[in-house]
Amino acid sequence: MACFVSCMVKKRRQIVFEGGGTFIQPIDSSAGVVTWIVKFDNSVGVVFPASFGKKLFGADRSKSLTFFDPDTALIRKIDKEIDYQYCNVSEKHNERYWGKVLHTQMADSLKPILTVSQKELIDRISLEQCTYWQENRQFYDKQYICYITPTGEKIVRVKLIDFRQDPHHLKQYLKTSWIEGWHGWFYSNLHEVYFHINNNRLTITEDL
């Protein structure tokens, strides 16, 4: 089931709290802009329209991107692909990210206290993340922005948010504002993935 929800908040808000903070970027309901809601069994998906995507990421930056509105079938397909691909993508991301980190000077200072090999450490991190995802994926609400790159690649940016613990009362903004944050609660409760429509592939490290 899909429905449309108009947004009431009009001004960008920055909320700062101890150990982190967030930017609340609302859409402009006065201009007739609405978000598109897709309901899942235990969560909801909020699709932000193409006009909002262009505004959110800035006029200069979005000149090379074309934003578009998806249909319900695509959003449901992406939801299934995230469930199917997440663990494998997370493992590959960890191999790239931690592989680089463990070769820096900081990593050198940690080596004397590491009791496992680099591969064992990365495998352990990946297993923990995969297990957690499999046990908790149904609780993540999602936000979507869709765009086409200059090379013609269609990408859907998906923000995954677990509001079961919501100390900063951000769930009230889920259907009206694109939520960005740093440190603290965001580190373990907000994640982003990117679905590449052309080749049916999920990634973690893409960015606008």
pLDDT for res 170: 92
pLDDT value at residue 9: 37
Hey, what amino acid is at 170?
Answer: L
pLDDT at 57 (0 to 100): 79
Strands 154-162 and 190-196: antiparallel
Name the domain count of the chain.
1
Domain that holds residue 143: 2-85+139-203
Q: What is the pLDDT of residue 50?
A: 94
Compute the distance between CA of residue 22 and CA of residue 13 in angstroms, rounded to an integer: 8
10-residue averages of pLDDT along the chain (208 residues): 38 55 76 85 94 80 84 96 94 80 57 63 88 94 95 95 92 93 84 95 78
Q: Rounded to an integer, what is the distance from CA 98 to the centroid of its chain?
A: 20
Q: How far apart are CA 37 and CA 51, in angstroms?
A: 16
- Specify if 33 maps to a domain: yes
Residue 108 placed within a domain? no
Could you tell me the pTM of the whole model? 0.82
Question: Can you say whether the dihedral through the CA atoms of 21, 7, 206, 137 is positive or negative?
Answer: positive
Nearest partner of 48 among 95, 5, 97, judged by Cα: 5
